[in-house]
Structure formats: C-alpha cells, structure tokens
Amino acid sequence: MADTSLAHILLVEDDTFLANIYKTKFEMEGFKVTVAEDGQAGFDVAGKIKPDLILLDILLPKMDGFAVLKKLKETDDVKDIPVILLTNLGQKDDVEKGLESGAVDYLIKAHFKPSETVDKVKKVLGL
C-alpha cells in the first residue's frame, strides 16, 4: 500500500450517510479526511486547510458544486488544488461543464464504488 498518510482530502457532501461511507473508506486507506456539508462551508474549509485534493458534490445547499469550483479556481491560494466532482448528475452537459470549469475528473456516484473512487484519488495524487 502506498503511503497516503500525508494526503488530506476535503469531501464536500451534504448526504451524511454517503459522506461517512467515503470518509471511512479513505481513512482506512490512510488518508486524512475533512467533511463539509454544504458548498459555502466547503469553500471556506478549503481556504483554511488547503487539502491535497477536493472531492466535490454538485447538488449542495448554500452554493452548488459548480459555483464552489468556480470560486476555488478564482482564488489564488487554492486554485491549484485538484478537484474531482463526485455527483449523481450524469448529463453530458454537466460533465463537460465540470471539466471545463477546472475539475480534474468527474465521477458519477452510481457508477463508482467508494474503493474505485479511492483509486482515482490516488491516481490524481500520484500515489
């Protein structure tokens, strides 16, 4: 197993049950995980902790994931943090919008098991 103990993931997910599943899976793999439950909190926390990678849902209270992604990419101290959109929105337009807005990947929750999501994150982080 690669050493992931230094990698800090910010998970922006409003579904507490799902957030706990992903948090547990990533922690079992040695990641440090911080969870934010709405878009505004996700943006604020990203600026404070400067995680190695952000997993971002799109359908969120207060600020949707596209707005969060846009703000992240416009903010100097967090704009280089890789963002993977992790959502149930699977329309081609949404995928294109996410990738054009600066996300490094777009994962549809229904198509990826948490373990596959961990593998994607490791790949993006070069682990």
Q: Torsion-angle region of residue 97: left (phi > 0), alpha (psi -120 to 50) or beta?
A: alpha
The beta-strand segments (E) located in the chain are 8-12, 32-36, 53-56, 83-87, 105-108
Sheet-wide strand order for 105-108: 32-36, 8-12, 53-56, 83-87, 105-108
The ranges of the chain with pLDDT < 70 are 1-5
- Identity at 114, one-letter amino acid code: P
Give this prediction's pTM. 0.94
pLDDT of residue 90: 87
pLDDT of residue 4: 58
Instruction: Select 8-117's CATH number: 3.90.226.10, 3.40.50.300, 1.20.1730.10, 3.40.50.2300.
Output: 3.40.50.2300
pLDDT of residue 20: 97
